[in-house]
Amino acid sequence: MILKHEGYIAEVSYEDGDALMNGVVVNARGTLHFAGRDIDDLRRAFAETIDDYREWCKDRGVEPEKPYSGTLSLRIPPELHKRVAEQAAKAGESINQFIAARLADVA
């Protein structure tokens, strides 16, 4: 199950026999965990985890890590860059569109 809160995304897991569902935020560089007994409890715990994280950062004078922006800097060999550009042109796409589509195919 996937939950969303203010741009953050969490994956939820449940092991048969556990009393709690466990969540982990997947689109932040920090590791943020939470748990709940039912979906309402889980959503509340997720929101509280994000609030607590922001407060923790504020107390320490640091900026909270934001959810992934969708921008990815990628370094590849020049020859590969050339081949990707050629394939993108053949497909009638920008390099960004071409790479995003190929990544979506495998993700």
CA 104 to CA 66: how far, in whole Å? 22
Residue 55 and residue 104 in one domain: no
Which range of residues forms the domain containing residue 28? 2-60
- Cβ-contact 2, 12 below 8 angstroms: yes
Residue 43 and residue 92 in one domain: no
Residue 18 above 90 pLDDT? no
- Cβ-contact 99, 84 below 8 angstroms: yes
Quick one: tokens of 43?
């959503």
The structural domain count of the chain equals 2
pTM for the predicted model, two decimal places: 0.62
Q: Per-residue pLDDT tens for 40-84?
A: 999 999 999 999 988 988 999 988 877 766 777 788 999 999 999
- Cβ-contact 1, 11 below 8 angstroms: yes
